[in-house]
Structure 1
Amino acid sequence: MRSDAFPIFEERAPWWGPDLQTVRNILLPKPKELDGGARLLLAMPDGDRLAARLDRPAEPGGRPLVVLIHGLTGTEASVNVVRTARHLVSGGWPVLRLNLRGSALSRPTSKGRYHAGKTEDLAAALRQLPDELVRRGVALVGHSLGGNLVLKFMGEGGHDALVLGAVAVSTPLDLAAASQRIEAPRNLIYHHYLLAGLKSEALAPGAELTSAQRSAIASARSIYEFDDRFVAPCFGFRDAADYYERNSAVGFLRGVDRPALVIHAMDDPWIPAAVYEGIDWPSLKTVETAVAPGGGHLGFHGRGSPIGWHDLVTAAWLACKFT
């Protein structure tokens, strides 16, 4: 499916501009959760368990399982995740929403936490899935930080044969550049919101933390300081710069050897456009792009449909590649 075959994105009134596109998801009522759904607890090698929710279409259509992964401080209940799950399930796809280690819904069963490139947890979760769920293969879909995780996983080359391909939406491909961008003065409110969420998530009851780690979390005045003082040492990185360099998906794109789609808005207020402009996309033979001039961060509220443009594109691409 060529990039020029995707529908054109046009903003829908009154959600003009990157910020209204981005915040619409929290300004309006949350979408209705799907009926039913099954809870899975996927065991990690160290004993932690990741919570996941499985939703199946009313009429099984023989399609691969979609494993959907949330972004920073998100969960299976994040507005954008619920909307994507609803659209895919309505189109006949079984969808498993994975809550990363230490995120709100996995915290009761996990002492540790996730980070932007902790692909070993994704690999372990996939190995835990029942055979009947994965016999037709798996397609990965990641939102924001989840998109970075998915693309890094795909580019590492050691993924399981059951993974057919992946979609990444509004992805901070360069973690250092995204960190600098979110701390820009125009993003002050976003930054405070995300930092507060990170601290709350990290300090939630059940987290296994030392007193020094708790102090590092509490004293962080920025996301960079949070990553530098807490995340990096927690996982053996020298500092935030080392953590960002070793886990940014941009460094793994050339290793992607299965179909992948990158969906992005060039006006994303959280991610600098220069990162996407600096990549030689045509040289990446397995990676396709659906890049719109507008849409904000995980917004894509466009004309012609109440369904987000990124969800329409995701579903169309998956159907083209894997049915």
Structure 2
Amino acid sequence: MTLPQGRDFRPPWPLTSGHIQTMLSSSGLRRKLLPAHAYRVLEGAETVMVDGGDGVRLTGAFTAQQGRPSARGLAVLFHGWEGSVDSTYVLQTGSRLLAEGWDVFRLNFRDHGDSHALNEALFHSCRIDEVVNAVDDIARRWPSRAMALAGFSLGGNFALRVAMQAPARGIPLHYALAVCPIIDPGEGLFSLEETAPWFYQAYFMNKWRRSLRAKQAAFPHREYFELQELKQSLRGLTEALVLRHTDFGSLEAYLDGYSVAGRTLMGMQIPASILTARDDPVIPVDAFEKLDLPANVELDIASYGGHCGFIRGWDMTSFCDDYIAARFNAMAG
């Protein structure tokens, strides 16, 4: 069986632009133009609460496949920063996997989607333990002969870290796939500020400020931030919240806390794949090229695709669906 490769993705002009790919990936236009089958994972979806350990509660949505006598396996999907279980790329991938015969679980990270009121402490990217615990709970509640995980952007970073810990925790995870994951957060944060066009930072900052205000409204007795802090840059606000709400002591220590750069992934015990694009304007490709990886981790750098785009044409469907589905199906045999 020949699996699709990043080099196979050759979109027509002007989708050869990484900026157009990136802007379209989460746009309202894409959501309107996608065919109806891209939302099929919403049909019969069950909203559930999962256990993150130590009293932490995370929300998600489970959809059982209906096309086969038994499911190929359980697919778990992670959204990106300030995304949710209802992000377009999550729905589209989930719908494709559902059609391929997978049961699908879409997980919200803390303070994503409409979950701000569930846990008093703020989300940050080093909260890996609660995500590992949630995946463990999902595996126990929906046992399957095969379990695979896919994540996008920050969700891809989480997917790789969960996969690193899964064997030691006894979680029956068989495969992980990360699309445009954050590799070196320090480099990625500085790139978004210093080299990426201004509108990317504006987009993420607007969504983050809205999320922080929702958190403050959910817990009015807490002071999560000062109003002046919300006016700071991405780096400034991140540093202010790290110093106020974590024990890391510095922005640099926090960013190192969720890095998977260098040789970090050499300890990966299960098969994994990383798909990224050379023209991604958000996550620099240099960080991928510097990775030291074991033989069971596939690194695939496409020429095109932008940040989590990989949009094939004006129907707005994504090459990622073919890529993920083919690898999940091959893993499940």
Structure 1 residue 49 corresponds to structure 2 residue 61: no
Structure 1 residue 103 corresponds to structure 2 residue 112: yes
Amino acid at match of 2:162: F
Please give the root-mean-square deviation of Cα atoms over the aligned residues, in Å: 2.5
Cα distance, 1:113–1:219 mapped onto 2, change above 3 Å: closer
Structure 1 residue 276 corresponds to structure 2 residue 284: no
Alpha-carbon distance between aligned partners in 2 of 1:295 and 1:234, rounded to the nearest angstrom = 35
2:75 aligned partner: 66
Q: Which residue of 175, 180, 183 corresponds with 1:173?
A: 183
In the alignment, structure 2 segments of 5+ residues that lack a partner are none
Amino acid at match of 1:254: M
Alpha-carbon distance between aligned partners in 2 of 1:95 and 1:209, rounded to the nearest angstrom = 37
In the alignment, structure 1 segments of 5+ residues that lack a partner are none
Query: Cα distance, 1:189 vs. partner?
Result: 0.6
Alpha-carbon distance between aligned partners in 2 of 1:320 and 1:59, rounded to the nearest angstrom = 18
Query: Cα distance, 1:105 vs. partner?
Result: 2.4
Amino acid at match of 2:253: D
**1:22–1:296 CA contact under 8 A, matched in 2:** yes
2:209 aligned partner: 199
Amino acid at match of 1:196: N
Q: Which residue of 173, 195, 199 corresponds with 1:163?
A: 173
**1:48–1:112 CA contact under 8 A, matched in 2:** no
Amino acid at match of 1:58: Q
Amino acid at match of 1:285: A
2:123 aligned partner: 114
State how 1:279-318 maps to structure 2 within 5 Å. 279-281=291-293, 284-302=294-312, 307-318=317-328
1:214 aligned partner: 225
**1:166–1:261 CA contact under 8 A, matched in 2:** yes
**CA deviations over 1:60-113 (Å, ceiling 9, x no partner):** 443221110111101011111111111111111111000001113222323233
Greater mean alpha carbon deviation, residues 307-316 or residues 151-160? 151-160
Cα distance, 1:48–1:208 mapped onto 2, change above 3 Å: farther
Length-normalised TM-score, structure 1:
0.90
SS in structure 2 at match of 1:39: strand
Structure 1 residue 15 corresponds to structure 2 residue 15: yes
**1:116–1:146 CA contact under 8 A, matched in 2:** no
Cα distance, 1:155–1:210 mapped onto 2, change above 3 Å: same
Query: Cα distance, 1:115 vs. partner?
Result: 2.3
Alpha-carbon distance between aligned partners in 1 of 2:92 and 2:268, rounded to the nearest angstrom = 27
**1:117–1:152 CA contact under 8 A, matched in 2:** no
Amino acid at match of 1:52: G
Cα distance, 1:3–1:135 mapped onto 2, change above 3 Å: closer
Alpha-carbon distance between aligned partners in 2 of 1:48 and 1:37, rounded to the nearest angstrom = 22
Alpha-carbon distance between aligned partners in 2 of 1:118 and 1:78, rounded to the nearest angstrom = 21
Alpha-carbon distance between aligned partners in 1 of 2:205 and 2:138, rounded to the nearest angstrom = 33
Cα distance, 1:65–1:196 mapped onto 2, change above 3 Å: same
Cα distance, 1:90–1:306 mapped onto 2, change above 3 Å: farther
State how 1:245-260 maps to structure 2 within 5 Å. 245-250=256-261, 252-260=264-272
Query: Cα distance, 1:202 vs. partner?
Result: 2.1
| Percent pairwise identity | 25
Alpha-carbon distance between aligned partners in 2 of 1:160 and 1:209, rounded to the nearest angstrom = 39
Amino acid at match of 2:287: V
Alpha-carbon distance between aligned partners in 2 of 1:5 and 1:72, rounded to the nearest angstrom = 26
**2:9–2:302 CA contact under 8 A, matched in 1:** yes
Cα distance, 1:29–1:295 mapped onto 2, change above 3 Å: closer
Query: Cα distance, 1:225 vs. partner?
Result: 1.5
Query: Cα distance, 1:316 vs. partner?
Result: 0.7
**CA deviations over 1:194-218 (Å, ceiling 9, x no partner):** 012112112213257743x321783
SS in structure 2 at match of 1:107: coil
Alpha-carbon distance between aligned partners in 2 of 1:42 and 1:217, rounded to the nearest angstrom = 35
Length-normalised TM-score, structure 2:
0.87
Query: Cα distance, 1:127 vs. partner?
Result: 2.9
Structure 1 residue 146 corresponds to structure 2 residue 146: no
Structure 1 residue 229 corresponds to structure 2 residue 240: yes
Amino acid at match of 1:310: C
Alpha-carbon distance between aligned partners in 2 of 1:207 and 1:265, rounded to the nearest angstrom = 40
Greater mean alpha carbon deviation, residues 21-30 or residues 270-279? 21-30
